[in-house]
């Protein structure tokens, strides 16, 4: 939006607010409400205000004003209702939520999160931050500026939300209870945030005593990780201390009374219920010696953003070196934490260094670079939660994929048995939401999952990565065969051959389509199926099926859909053996394209017939109508390949000037004649000059053909004169003296030509393998004296 548009929008908005204020005054002067009204809608976009009448906006604001005008100190005011004209003096098509609270972080996102969790849509959010003063009874006495409010400490959050209409009273009550509980969690989190963060320093000091138990390296790195969390990498939501005890042969985590902070303030329970429900053998792992555990909690966050909370448990030890308890933090890693490089993240950097050393990959090698890139882009939760062994297995497994298009599954079981983390790699072109749904269903069934969530990672890689978190019941963990599960998922991804069958039948009908399917379905290698969609393969099959012993070459120049400007592809279809890249590269470069890569595919039929498809990635820097030049490009390449045309820079004129192979041969012949004159330029220089001046090159050919075409009739001289004039005019724009001289020399050769066999054909319709000219040397300044009468 431009500054002028913003000014216009603000002007329209103010006009609308003035109408709302005027309506408010009709109810009797109320300076406080009128001042409130201006602040209430101050940050609402004009297009949102435009959806409502001034009367509606006035009534909605007055409703909120009357609800929040009196608020005793520290009270949170909330109501969820459907306004009616009889009771409230106004009505709305939506259910209304009104809140008045002290301003603090997480209010809006927590509210929206609660509504989203209930499947309720939001139509309008009005959220002014008001600076005001109240008397001892909580009645608003004035509105302040930000500075004055800072001194008095009264900064309040007023929220008005219009949500999907809810008519059921029980639903309204349930929603209000959930919102109130969520806001209580927000307040507990905000009030205790500094206290929780201070625990980091206390724990770091206390864990110094564990160096003899765990070693300096592990303690140092663990302490650095805790400090890293406190440095804006973790949103602390709760904290609690536990004692690990054994009672009646059972391991229990007893809550230390009074230790709870934030959402863990409530210490009415005596023991950790989440720990108590774990199987006995899983609970025994709590006695494993380690500095800390990083995993996911078994409960979702009610504050800030949805998802399962992150759990950081630092173990406590007694003087004998046995695990005696735990300091537990609950919260959420921040976006900053997820964007940090593993090399900058304590604990994670240590794992990465160990994996690099263990891999024994040579420094600077492709595989080592691939490994480090994999770890750099690995899901951050996996880096935090996985052991070094688990990370090594997964990362090296991905390296070994080598970008091959196949399905690969890596499964990590949570140390408490509450979920499985499943990392799935599959060909990127096979990924879609339907495939993801199939895979998720397979994982839920195989892993006895209760629910699952997913995250997709797409990059320039040929592989897509999907991470599924499958939540399970700890005491109902299934036995499963990893390889069989991976195969089930691979089968769930629809096969390329299935898509090919549909495409062939659609193109050729059932009978012919099935015949071609039987011939080619198993002929294409996996690499081809990964790179080429089945529908596109139909064209390739047409080309392969048209190849005969006599015609051993088919070609296709095309621009892929939605590709960048200048990006081209060129396919060569050939029998028996591929064309060597060392042969193809010079031919293509002389045609004026830059070869960026090649994908060769060997097509082996059941009868042992062998065909090759070579798909070249090309870059062409000029403007190009591919449809207009395709046939000429094909013919030029084919004739060079068969030895019927020379492989030099004149071939660039096919794309730059739109010439065909015969016309490029004509200009090449002129060049060779000029080399025998006093013109001193090299063939390469003349090639570049014509390519740099494609309009003139095309005019030279038109001029020559107009003068000598036997079908030209009486108009030949007039047409030739017209093209000669266009050439003279075009030459005026040539800046380089050398270029001008070269182009005029070609023009002179064309003018000096008296007769030619250029248009003569053989009995089969083809052209003679040579071009003959008869010149008038007097019109060739380039010839030295004495000049013959004819040549």
Q: Is residue 434 part of a domain?
A: no
- Same domain for 334 and 217, yes or no, is yes
Q: Is residue 97 part of a domain?
A: yes
- Same domain for 628 and 707, yes or no, is no
Query: What does the pLDDT look like over 276-301, one tens digit per residue?
Result: 888 888 888 889 999 999 999 988 99
Q: DSSP 3-state assignment of 259?
A: coil
- What pLDDT score was predicted for residue 155? 92
Q: Which residue has the higher pLDDT, 250 or 411?
A: 411
Q: Is residue 46 part of a domain?
A: yes
Query: What does the pLDDT look like over 618-632, one tens digit per residue?
Result: 999 988 899 999 999
* CA–CA distance, 560 with 599 (Å, rounded to integer): 15
Bridge partner residues of 388 (DSSP): none
Do 328 and 313 meet the contact criterion of CB atoms below 8 Å apart? yes
Q: Which domain holds residue 101?
A: 3-167
Q: DSSP 3-state assignment of 129?
A: strand
- Same domain for 715 and 640, yes or no, is no
- Tokens 């089968």 sit at which residue? 491
Q: Is residue 407 part of a domain?
A: no
Do 497 and 490 meet the contact criterion of CB atoms below 8 Å apart? no
- Cβ neighbors of 101 (< 8 A, separation 6 or more) are 76, 77, 107, 156, 157, 159, 183
Do 167 and 85 meet the contact criterion of CB atoms below 8 Å apart? no
Torsion 33-39-44-49 (CA) sign: positive
- What pLDDT score was predicted for residue 491? 82
- Same domain for 199 and 335, yes or no, is yes
Torsion 323-327-329-330 (CA) sign: positive
* CA–CA distance, 502 with 504 (Å, rounded to integer): 6
Q: Which two tokens stand for residue 663?
A: 């016309």
User: Quick check: 1 pLDDT over 70?
Assistant: no
Query: What does the pLDDT look like over 124-183, one tens digit per residue?
Result: 999 999 999 999 999 998 888 665 545 556 899 999 999 999 999 999 999 999 999 999
- Same domain for 150 and 271, yes or no, is no
Q: Which two tokens stand for residue 52?
A: 């409502």
* CA–CA distance, 497 with 529 (Å, rounded to integer): 9
CA-nearest of 629, 506, 485 to 570 is: 629
- What pLDDT score was predicted for residue 269? 80
Do 716 and 706 meet the contact criterion of CB atoms below 8 Å apart? yes
* CA–CA distance, 555 with 723 (Å, rounded to integer): 34
- Same domain for 144 and 292, yes or no, is no
Phi, psi of 236 (to 5 degrees): -75, 120
Q: Which residue has the higher pLDDT, 550 or 748?
A: 748
3-state helix, strand, coil in the chain (%, to 5): 50, 20, 30
CA-nearest of 741, 732, 645 to 695 is: 732
Do 530 and 427 meet the contact criterion of CB atoms below 8 Å apart? yes
Angle at 272 between CA 271 and CA 277, to 5 degrees: 110
Q: Is residue 532 part of a domain?
A: no
**Residue 525 — left, alpha, or beta (φ > 0 → left; ψ -120 to 50 → alpha)?**
beta
- What pLDDT score was predicted for residue 285? 86
Q: Is residue 527 part of a domain?
A: no
- Same domain for 592 and 711, yes or no, is no
SS (H, E, C) 283-321: HHHHHCCCCEEEEEEEEECCCCCCCEEEEEEEEEECCCC
User: Quick check: 562 pLDDT over 70?
Assistant: yes
- Cβ neighbors of 350 (< 8 A, separation 6 or more) are 217, 221
Query: Lowest mean pLDDT: which of 112-116, 191-195, 249-253, 472-476?
Result: 472-476
* CA–CA distance, 255 with 169 (Å, rounded to integer): 38
Number of structural domains (the chain) is: 4
Give the pLDDT mean for 51-59. 94
* CA–CA distance, 517 with 445 (Å, rounded to integer): 35
CA-nearest of 651, 657, 750 to 696 is: 657
Q: Which long-range contacts (CB under 8 A, 24 or more apart) does 377-383 make?
A: 377/457, 377/459, 378/342, 379/423, 379/455, 379/457, 379/467, 380/333, 380/337, 380/338, 381/296, 381/310, 381/333, 381/421, 382/412, 382/421, 382/423, 382/467, 383/342, 383/345, 383/348, 383/351, 383/352
CA-nearest of 417, 439, 421, 443 to 430 is: 439
Q: Is residue 175 part of a domain?
A: no
Q: Which residue has the higher pLDDT, 150 or 363?
A: 363
Pairing of strands 594-604, 610-619: antiparallel
Query: What's the chain's average pLDDT?
Result: 90
Q: DSSP 3-state assignment of 207?
A: helix
SS (H, E, C) 631-676: HHHHHHHHHHHCCCCCCCHHHHHHHHCCCCHHHHHHHHHHHHHHCC
- What pLDDT score was predicted for residue 38? 86
The domain that holds 594 is classified in CATH as 3.30.1360
Do 571 and 614 meet the contact criterion of CB atoms below 8 Å apart? yes
* CA–CA distance, 368 with 389 (Å, rounded to integer): 17
Torsion 419-420-425-429 (CA) sign: negative
CA 640 from centroid of its chain's CA atoms: 42
Do 622 and 564 meet the contact criterion of CB atoms below 8 Å apart? no
CA-nearest of 100, 97, 70 to 82 is: 97
- Same domain for 117 and 223, yes or no, is no
Give the pLDDT mean for 208-222. 96
Q: What is the pTM of this model?
A: 0.62
* CA–CA distance, 423 with 396 (Å, rounded to integer): 13
Which domain-ending residue is among 339, 363, 390? 339
- Same domain for 589 and 639, yes or no, is yes
Residue 764: pLDDT band by 50, 70, 90 thresholds?
Answer: confident
Start-to-end CA distance of the chain, whole Å, equals 72
- Same domain for 226 and 315, yes or no, is yes
CA 742 from centroid of its chain's CA atoms: 51
* CA–CA distance, 73 with 578 (Å, rounded to integer): 84
Q: DSSP 3-state assignment of 235?
A: strand
CA 551 from centroid of its chain's CA atoms: 44
- Same domain for 602 and 726, yes or no, is no
**Residue 713 — left, alpha, or beta (φ > 0 → left; ψ -120 to 50 → alpha)?**
left
**How many Cα atoms are found within 13 Å in the side-chain-facing hemisphere of 124?**
25
Q: Which residue has the higher pLDDT, 591 or 785?
A: 591
Query: What does the pLDDT look like over 340-355, one tens digit per residue?
Result: 999 999 999 999 999 9
For residue 440, give the H/E element and its range.
helix 433-446
- Tokens 């060739």 sit at which residue? 780
* CA–CA distance, 601 with 613 (Å, rounded to integer): 5
Check residue 778 and report its DSSP letter: G
Q: Which residue has the higher pLDDT, 31 or 318?
A: 318
Cα-only R_g, the chain: 39
Which domain-ending residue is among 647, 669, 697? 647
Q: Is residue 631 part of a domain?
A: yes
- Cβ neighbors of 305 (< 8 A, separation 6 or more) are 109, 113, 332
Q: What interhelical angle do 348-359 and 366-376 show, nearest 10?
A: 160
Q: Which two tokens stand for residue 723?
A: 């093209």
- Same domain for 674 and 636, yes or no, is no
Torsion 660-665-666-670 (CA) sign: positive
Residue 461: pLDDT band by 50, 70, 90 thresholds?
Answer: confident
SS (H, E, C) 725-754: HHHHHHHCCCCCHHHHHHHHHHHHHHHHEE
Largest Cα span, the chain:
123
Which domain-ending residue is among 632, 647, 662? 647
- Cβ neighbors of 244 (< 8 A, separation 6 or more) are 251, 252, 253, 254, 286, 287, 316, 323, 324, 325, 326
CA-nearest of 716, 715, 747 to 730 is: 747
Q: Which two tokens stand for residue 588?
A: 């293509």
Query: What does the pLDDT look like over 61-70, one tens digit per residue?
Result: 999 999 999 9
């Amino acid at each position: 939006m431009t500054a002028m548009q913003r000014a216009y929008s603000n002007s329209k908005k103010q006009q609308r607010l003035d109408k709302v204020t005027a309506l408010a005054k009709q109810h009797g002067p109320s300076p406080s409400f009128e001042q409130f009204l201006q602040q209430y809608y101050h940050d609402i976009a004009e297009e949102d205000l435009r959806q409502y009448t001034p009367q509606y906006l006035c009534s909605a604001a007055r409703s909120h004003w009357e609800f929040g005008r009196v608020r005793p100190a520290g009270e949170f005011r909330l109501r969820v209702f459907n306004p009616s004209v009889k009771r409230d003096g106004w009505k709305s098509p939506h259910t209304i939520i009104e809140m008045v609270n002290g301003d603090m972080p997480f209010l809006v996102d927590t509210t929206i999160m609660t509504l989203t969790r209930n499947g309720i849509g939001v139509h309008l959010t009005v959220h002014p931050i008001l600076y005001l003063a109240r008397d001892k009874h909580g009645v608003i006495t004035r509105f302040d500026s930000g500075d004055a409010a800072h001194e008095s400490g009264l900064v309040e959050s007023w929220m008005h939300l219009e949500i999907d209409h809810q008519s059921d009273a029980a639903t309204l009550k349930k929603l209000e209870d959930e919102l109130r509980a969520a806001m209580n969690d927000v307040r507990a989190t905000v009030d205790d945030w500094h206290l929780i963060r201070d625990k980091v320093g206390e724990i770091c000091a206390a864990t110094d005593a564990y160096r003899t138990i765990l070693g300096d390296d592990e303690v140092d790195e663990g302490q650095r990780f805790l400090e890293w969390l406190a440095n804006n990498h973790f949103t602390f939501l709760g904290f609690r201390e536990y004692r690990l005890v054994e009672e009646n042969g059972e391991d229990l985590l007893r809550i230390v009374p009074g230790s709870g902070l934030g959402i863990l303030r409530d210490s009415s329970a005596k023991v950790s219920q989440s720990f108590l429900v774990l199987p006995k053998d899983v609970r025994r792992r709590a006695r494993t010696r380690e500095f800390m555990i990083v995993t996911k909690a078994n409960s979702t966050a009610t504050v800030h953003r949805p998802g399962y909370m992150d759990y950081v448990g630092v173990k406590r030890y007694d003087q004998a070196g046995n695990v005696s308890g735990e300091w537990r933090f609950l919260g959420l890693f921040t976006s900053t934490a997820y964007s940090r490089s593993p090399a900058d993240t304590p604990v994670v950097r240590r794992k990465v260094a160990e994996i690099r050393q263990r891999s024994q990959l040579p420094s600077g090698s492709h595989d080592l670079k691939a490994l480090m890139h994999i770890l750099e882009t690995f899901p951050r939760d996996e880096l935090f939660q996985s052991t070094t062994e688990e990370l090594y297995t997964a990362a090296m497994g991905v390296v070994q994929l080598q970008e091959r298009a196949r399905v690969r599954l890596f499964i990590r079981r949570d140390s408490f048995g509450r979920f499985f983390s499943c990392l799935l790699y599959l060909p990127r072109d096979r990924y879609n939401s339907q495939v993801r749904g199939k895979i998720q269903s397979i994982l839920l069934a195989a892993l006895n999952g209760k629910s699952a969530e997913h995250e997709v990672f797409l990059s320039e890689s040929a592989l897509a990565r999907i991470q599924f978190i499958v939540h399970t019941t700890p005491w109902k963990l299934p036995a499963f065969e990893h390889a069989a599960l991976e195969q089930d998922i691979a089968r769930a991804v629809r096969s390329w051959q299935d898509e090919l069958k549909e495409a062939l039948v659609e193109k050729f009908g059932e009978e012919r389509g099935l015949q071609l399917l039987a011939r080619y379905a198993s002929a294409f290698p996996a690499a081809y199926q990964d790179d080429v969609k089945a529908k596109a393969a139909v064209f390739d099959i047409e080309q392969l099926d048209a190849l005969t012993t006599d015609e051993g070459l088919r070609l296709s120049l095309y621009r892929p859909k939605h590709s960048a400007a200048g990006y081209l592809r060129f396919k060569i279809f050939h029998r028996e053996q591929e064309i060597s890249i060392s042969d193809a590269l010079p031919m293509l470069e002389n045609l004026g394209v830059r070869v960026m890569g090649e994908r060769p595919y060997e097509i082996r039929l059941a009868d042992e017939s062998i065909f090759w498809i070579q798909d070249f990635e090309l870059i062409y820097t000029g403007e190009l109508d591919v449809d207009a030049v395709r046939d000429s490009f094909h013919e030029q390449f084919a004739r060079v390949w068969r030895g019927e045309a020379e492989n030099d820079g004149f071939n660039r004129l096919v794309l730059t000037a739109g010439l065909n192979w015969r016309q490029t041969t004509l200009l090449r012949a002129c060049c060779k004649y000029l080399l025998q004159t006093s013109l001193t330029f090299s063939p390469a220089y003349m090639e570049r000059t014509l390519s740099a001046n494609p309009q003139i090159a095309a005019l030279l050919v038109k001029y020559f053909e107009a003068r000598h075409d036997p079908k030209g009739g009486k108009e030949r001289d007039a047409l030739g004169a017209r093209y000669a004039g266009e050439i003279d005019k075009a030459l005026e724009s040539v800046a380089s003296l050398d270029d001008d001289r070269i182009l005029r020399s070609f023009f002179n050769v064309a003018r000096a030509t008296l007769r030619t066999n250029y248009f003569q054909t053989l009995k089969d319709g083809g052209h003679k393998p040579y071009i003959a000219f008869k010149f008038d040397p007097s019109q060739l300044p380039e010839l030295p004296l004495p000049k013959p009468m004819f040549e």
